[in-house]
Amino acid sequence: MARIVMKFGGTSMAGTERIRRVAQIVKRQAERGDEVAVVVSAMAGETDRLVNFCREANPLYDPAEYDVVVASGEQVTSGLLAITLQAMGCKARSWLGWQLPIHTDNAHAKARIGTIDSEELLASMAGGTIAVIPGFQGLTDDNRITTLGRGGSDTSAVAVAAAVKADRCDIYTDVDGVYTTDPRIVSRARKLKAVTYEEMLELASVGSKVLQTRSVGLAMKEGVRVQVLSSFIDENAPSADTIPGTMIVTDEELENAQVERQLITGIAADKNEAKITLTRVPDRPGAVSHIFAPLAESNINVDMIIQNVGRDKGETDVTFTVPQADLARATDVLQNQREAIGYNRLIPDTKVAKISVVGVGMKSHAGVASTMFTALAERKINIQAISTSEIKVSVLIDEDETELAVRVLHTAYGLDAD
Ligand code: ASP
Ligand code: MG
Once rounded to an integer, what is the mean pLDDT over residues 224-242? 94
To test the pocket of ligand 1, the residue of 69, 137, 153 to mutate (highest count of ligand atoms within 8 Å of its CB) is 153
The pTM assigned to this predicted structure is 0.89
Q: Confidence band (pLDDT; 50, 70, 90) for 206?
A: confident
Residue 260: predicted pLDDT: 67
Q: Which residue's CA is minimally distant from atom 7 of ligand 1?
A: 41
Ligand in nearest proximity to the CA of 204: 2
* Ligand 1 in reach of 12 Cβ (< 6 A): no
- Name the pLDDT band for 74 (thresholds 50, 70, 90): very high
- Atom of ligand 1 lying closest to residue 149 CA: 9
Is it the case that residue 309 has pLDDT exceeding 80?
no
Q: Measured from the CB, is residue 20 less than 6 Å from ligand 1?
A: no
* Torsion 112-117-121-122 (CA) sign: positive
For 161-176, how does the pLDDT look when each residue is reduced to its tens digit (9 = 90+)? 999 999 999 999 999 9
Average confidence (pLDDT) over 17-40: 97
Report the mean per-residue pLDDT for the chain: 95
| Closest residue by CA, ligand 1 atom 6 | 151
The answer to whether 85 and 130 are in contact (CB under 8 A) is yes
Which numbered atom of ligand 1 lies nearest the CA of 150? 9
**What are the tens digits of pLDDT across the range 247-280?**
999 988 888 876 667 789 999 999 999 999 999 9
Task: Collapse the DSSP code of 316 into the 3-class scheme (helix H, G, I; strand E, B; otherwise coil) and give the result.
Answer: strand
Condensed to tens digits (0 to 9), the pLDDT of residues 337-366 reads 999 999 999 999 999 999 999 999 898 888
User: What pLDDT score was predicted for residue 202?
Assistant: 93
- Span 61-77, average pLDDT: 97
Residue 308, pLDDT score? 78
User: What distances in angstroms separate CA 220 from CA 158, 216, 362, one per listed residue?
Assistant: 10, 6, 20
What is residue 307's predicted lDDT score, i.e. its pLDDT?
Answer: 87
Number of Cα atoms under 13 Å in the Cβ half of residue 302:
22
Single-letter amino acid code for the residue at 95: W
Share of the chain above pLDDT 90, in %: 88
**What is the chain's Cα-based Rg?**
23
Q: How far apart are CA 317 and CA 302, in angstroms?
A: 16
pLDDT value for 258: 64
Task: Provide the pLDDT for residue 262.
Answer: 78
Place 205 in a pLDDT band, splitting at 50, 70 and 90.
confident
Rounded distance between C-alpha atoms, residue 258 and residue 48, angstroms: 42
42 Cβ below 6 A of ligand 1: yes
Cβ pair 379, 412 in contact under 8 A? no
Segment 218-222 shows an average pLDDT of 97
CA-proximal residue: ligand 1, atom 5 (nearest): 151
310 C-alpha to ligand 2 centroid (Å): 45
- SS3 state at 385: strand
What is the rounded CA–CA span in Å between residue 284 and residue 325?
A: 31
Residues in contact with 399: Cβ distance below 8 Å, sequence separation at least 6, in sequence order:
271, 350, 351, 352, 353
